[in-house]
Structure 1
Amino acid sequence: MTGISAIDGGLSYHTRTLRQGPLADHFQQLFPLRTLHEVDFATIPCLLVPCRTNGARLAAHRARLMHYVEKGGFLVVMGETRPDLFLDDVGFRTIATNYWWWLEPDADLGVRISAPDHPLFDRLSEADLAWHVHGTLALGSMWVTETLARYDGEDGGPIVVDARLGSGRALLTTLDPIYHHGSGFMPATTRFLEGFLPWLAQTVDDRLSGCINLDNGQATPKSRPKGN
């Protein structure tokens, strides 16, 4: 078990990833989307929004999700969720998806790692990020952002962003590995999750073990969240 909780949208690929197989061991708690209004976010070290969760339904929780991040939570938002609907100052642009790029001569989707020194890329390579690109992100000035990976094709832009707000953190991506892994196709998506989820679990565990909250750049003691 880890400190990672996830919203369960109840779709087949959510079930196969979050509840079945070895990847399920990375999740401490699963919250059905329909019961999210009952969840006390303050008790959750890390909340993951899986691929293709209905962003329009999450819009009702926009204020709570923003408060969660600002007060020290770690929110992870996967692709095809429309984060612009449920997070402030987040833009999303849909782009034409090239499903057949791998059949082209010298095939190159155009995904590029922008921050090779970020610890996530001790576990992932560019090949582990390359299957499809559905859109790009644009976070506004209220966030302190680092672009971890981008799409360099036509209409390119950030596709993985590590962002800070208040004492919390949000990692957003337009990639949709849970959908593909849970649907049983695209081996790169399984490799992505096999690297990403252990990194996320270690990151959350390190944060809990240190019990540190960064407030205006200063390290100050932080109480361990309830239930951990």
Structure 2
Amino acid sequence: MTWGNAAQVRSFQDFAHLLDDVLYLRELDRHDLGAYAAIIIPDVMDCIELRAHARQLNDYVRNGGFLIAFSIRDIENIIDVVDLKWQPVNARDWLWWTRPNPYLEVRQPEPRHPICDAISLADMSWHWMGALEKHPDAAHILTLDDDSLSLFMDFRNLQGGGRLMVTTLDPHGHNGERFMPATTRFLEAFYPWLNRELGIDREKRLLASPICARLTARGIGNRRDWPKPSREPASPFVTMGSTISMRPYCGHPISSTYPTTRTRSSCAAGPPIFSPFWSAAGISSCLASRPFHGCHSCRRSARLHHALSPT
């Protein structure tokens, strides 16, 4: 789910091969959420617009859906399937990783949640946006080191068979802005874990798809052909033209030429925005109206990536 924030979109581009669809928040009521095995509400979300869809989201969980909410302002007043209580507690030292003996006051409590086998404590450690009071019905994935408050909770087997994961971590925003490498590592582990948790085998699904058999692309490859988000400074863009030939279910041939871009570091634009139809076949596409020739903002973010980020 996205409201169009650039960092959200970039993060979803990064993991398009592990997603089925991207839902625009302002059009959420047009969708049957029950068709999805899981719904992700990323951080840096428009909480006012999200609140307008609170009933639809809570009904999704009550009807057996799996909702995953990252750091959302006012989350305790949006989610009502469980009683959440948020506290304005943040890291004591937001520059903790720059100290001679760096320490962040978090822990993965015992017994460790299974997701901790995929995401290490180091990859959950940067900062958080407030904390949640511990709930007796939740499995706690990440807590403060004194065990007083929770930063990541999993509510399994809610009434109606639904499930809720909620965290005050904000990886999508930082990954999409291309700084704080720990957030990129978090998402690189989180999305494969989620697919395994749902029993989804993307390789088998792609190979079995009739779209895959009827779709050919020249110049554009699978999302996984793109370089991973880099921790190196951005290099200049290299612009390439690509021709896409496609014959979808309707049988009508489509042939168009779009500019595409790559960078050595994949910082900034990275893989271009994908359409849900093409992403179903594992294909990324660029629908930009003109080539990119560089991005001052991105290069600035790349420098911040090194100067201001835990590694």
TM tier relative to shorter chain: 0.7 to 0.9
The separation in 1 between residues aligned to 2:172 and 2:148, in whole angstroms, is: 23
Shift of 1:62: 1.9
Task: Return the match for 2:153 from 150, 156, 161.
Answer: 161
Alignment pair present for 1:145 and 2:157: no
> Which deviations, in whole Å up to 9, do the C-alpha atoms of 1:70-95 show, x marking residues without a partner?
21100000114431131012222222
Select the structure that is richer in strand: 1
TM-score (norm 2): 0.59
Aligned residue for 2:94, secondary structure, equals: coil
TM-score (norm 1): 0.79
Larger of the two Rg values belongs to structure:
2
Q: Cα RMSD (Å) of the superposition? A: 1.9
Aligned residue for 1:29, secondary structure, equals: coil
Shift of 1:133: 1.9
Which residue number corresponds to residue 43 of structure 1? Answer: 35
Gaps in structure 2 of 5+ consecutive residues: 201-311
Which residue number corresponds to residue 233 of structure 2? Answer: none
Aligned residue for 2:128, secondary structure, equals: coil
Aligned residue for 1:31, secondary structure, equals: coil
Between the two structures, name the one with larger relative contact order (CA 8 Å, sep ≥ 6). Answer: 1
Give the fraction of aligned pairs with identical amino acids, expressed as a percent: 34
Is the 8 Å Cα contact of residues 47 and 73 (structure 2) preserved in structure 1? yes
Is the 8 Å Cα contact of residues 136 and 156 (structure 1) preserved in structure 2? no
Mapping for residues 103-122 of structure 1, pairs under 5 Å = 103-122=98-117
Is the 8 Å Cα contact of residues 123 and 183 (structure 2) preserved in structure 1? yes
For residues 29 and 151 of structure 1, do their structure 2 counterparts lie closer, same or farther at Cα, with a shift above 3 Å needed?
same
Mapping for residues 1-228 of structure 1, pairs under 5 Å = 7-18=1-12, 20-21=13-14, 23-88=15-80, 89-97=83-91, 98-138=93-133, 144-152=137-145, 157-164=149-156, 165-166=158-159, 167-205=161-199
The separation in 2 between residues aligned to 1:65 and 1:115, in whole angstroms, is: 31
For residues 115 and 29 of structure 1, do their structure 2 counterparts lie closer, same or farther at Cα, with a shift above 3 Å needed?
farther
Shift of 1:138: 2.8
Of 31-40 and 109-118, more deviation after overlay is shown by 109-118
Aligned residue for 1:72, secondary structure, equals: coil
Is the 8 Å Cα contact of residues 141 and 152 (structure 2) preserved in structure 1? yes
Is the 8 Å Cα contact of residues 133 and 151 (structure 1) preserved in structure 2? no
- Structure 1 stretches of 4+ moved >4 Å: none
Shift of 1:205: 2.1
> Which deviations, in whole Å up to 9, do the C-alpha atoms of 1:164-205 show, x marking residues without a partner?
321010111100011110000001111111111111111112
